[in-house]
Amino acid sequence: MERFVIQGGGRLVGEVPISGAKNAAVAILTATVLAEKPCIIENVPNIRDVSIILKILTDIGAVVQTIDRSTVMIDTKHVQKAEVPYEMARLYRASYYFLGVLLGRFGRASVAMPGGCDLGVRPIDLHIKAFEALGAKVSLEQGGMVDVKADNLIGTHIYMDGYSVGATINAILAAVKANGLTVIENAGKEPHIVDLANFLNSMGADIRGAGTDVIKIRGVSHLGGATYSIIPDQIETGTFMVAAAATRGNVLIKNVIPKHLECITAKLRKIGAVVEEFDDSIKVVRTGGLLKDNIKTMPHPGFPTDMQAQITVLLALAQGTSIITESIFDNRFRYVEHLRHMGAHIQVDGNIAIVEGGHPLKGAPVIATDLRAGAALIIAGLCAQGTTYIEDIYHIERGYEDMESKLCGLGADIKKIYTPDPLGMSQAL
């Protein structure tokens, strides 16, 4: 089993480059299934979720060539298979995007649904409603397979009666080659939705309004190839911004889009960090004390739910009591018990966490319960007195490229060590 070992107490100082956005990459790489010519995708993050998608694309018949560490060529001309089995689909959450692209290209798809995960139940009812609105028949087969079929996908009006990034993306993927106009209302507005729309438009799609509540998609019969560069990762950037503030650091974070960070920047300034924005970089310096603040996670451009765990660590170090409200997921405070092992004073009541700041953190053995919780525990370990051991770091490596070396480059004392399972059982069990 691999784990991180962190000696806390140091400051993060220096420069760190940000990788391509995980949540844009999982949509854009999957969307290449709709292309009739090869696509070159640049700034692809070198993370586990991406490796899984490239494996699935190969399994269904695509040609995937690595051009360099962050560039891939994908040719899906010969894709025939419209099925993603459970043993592949279960490996990451967004495998359901294969439903949208295979339906959009072949008029049929069969993809296993991963169950709920560490953030609570994660239904796909809004995805299914979007497919049905476009004329597809959706059935839940035994073994957890979701089957979608449509003789014809017809453009339509889709009102999302719940805010969903994934359902918005799947609706776009299914509608982009449908007959006629599709209007999606109450659409997701996240930067990675805009990035997907820009990619599809570069292939010849006709999508307008991405980034607003109303997205209009005029179906086209052909989509060509494209060369496209994925946007920088807003949440990886936010994670390093919080880590710099938490460790009284001085960090220049490069390859970013400051506009995507406005809410995080505003909160960090309020809590006590100095944040300087440049064209494609952002500098975070913290020398003084930290002030309490209240946080409510919201859809973009509000404070991202994927930054909730990280900012909670920062507020645990601040003077005073802060209130964190998680309004997107129904179970996104599982990391709090591990922060409490490290000396944080946090009470959770439903979707609210009350953080009584000012109690110093002490190193302890903790477990990453999901990707962002793991990142938050790393930040806590960097600020704690003594040594922190973080288990289940595969969660972190799903979405953060080279986290350990990027932190070491900023002066952090973090190592990845392998400890054999005392019972000799494989992690896969």
Binding mask 326-355 for ligand EPZ (x = CB under 6 A): --xx--------------------------
Sites for ligand EPZ among residues 250-289 (CB under 6 A): none
Using the CB atoms, write b or e for 379-408: b if 16+ within 10 Å.
Answer: bbbbbbeeebbbbbbebbbbbbbbbbebbe
- Give the whole-angstrom CA distance, residue 147 versus residue 167: 16
Q: Which is nearer to ligand EPZ, 23 or 182 (CB)?
A: 23
381 binds ligand EPZ (CB under 6 A): no
| Among the listed residues 15, 125, 141, 276, the single contact to ligand EPZ using CB under 6 A | 125
161 binds ligand EPZ (CB under 6 A): no
- Sign of the torsion angle spanned by Cα atoms 301, 304, 310, 315: positive
Sites for ligand EPZ among residues 54-113 (CB under 6 A): 93-94
Q: Which is nearer to ligand EPZ, 38 or 104 (CB)?
A: 104
Q: How many residues bind ligand EPZ (CB under 6 A)?
A: 23
Report in angstroms how near the CB of residue 162 gets to ligand EPZ at its nearest. Answer: 5
Task: Please state whether the peptide bond connecting residue 301 to the residue before it is cis, i.e. omega within 30 degrees of 0.
Answer: yes
H-helix or E-strand spanning residue 196: helix 191-202
R_g (Cα) of the chain, nearest Å: 22
Q: Active-site residue 39, yes or no?
A: no
* Residue 125 contacts residue 161 (beta carbons within 8 Å): no
Inter-axis angle of helices 308-316 and 262-271, to 10 degrees?
10
Nearest by Cα to 169 from 201, 136, 194: 194
162 binds ligand EPZ (CB under 6 A): yes
- Give the whole-angstrom CA distance, residue 389 versus residue 367: 8
148 binds ligand EPZ (CB under 6 A): no
Sites for ligand EPZ among residues 24-53 (CB under 6 A): 26
Q: Which residue is nearest to ligand EPZ (CB)?
A: 166
**Catalytic member of 39, 117, 263, 408:** 117
Binding mask 289-328 for ligand EPZ (x = CB under 6 A): ----------------xx---------------------x
Render 221-260 in DSSP notation, one character per residue: S-----EEEPPB-HHHHHHHHHHHHHTT-EEEEES--GGG
Count the Cβ atoms, other than its own, within 10 Å of residue 227: 12
Q: Which is nearer to ligand EPZ, 89 or 318 (CB)?
A: 89
237 binds ligand EPZ (CB under 6 A): no
Q: Which is nearer to ligand EPZ, 131 or 228 (CB)?
A: 131
Q: Rule CB under 6 A: which residues touch ligand EPZ? A: 22-23, 26, 93-94, 122-127, 162, 164-167, 305-306, 328-329, 371-372, 399
Q: Report the catalytic residues.
A: 117
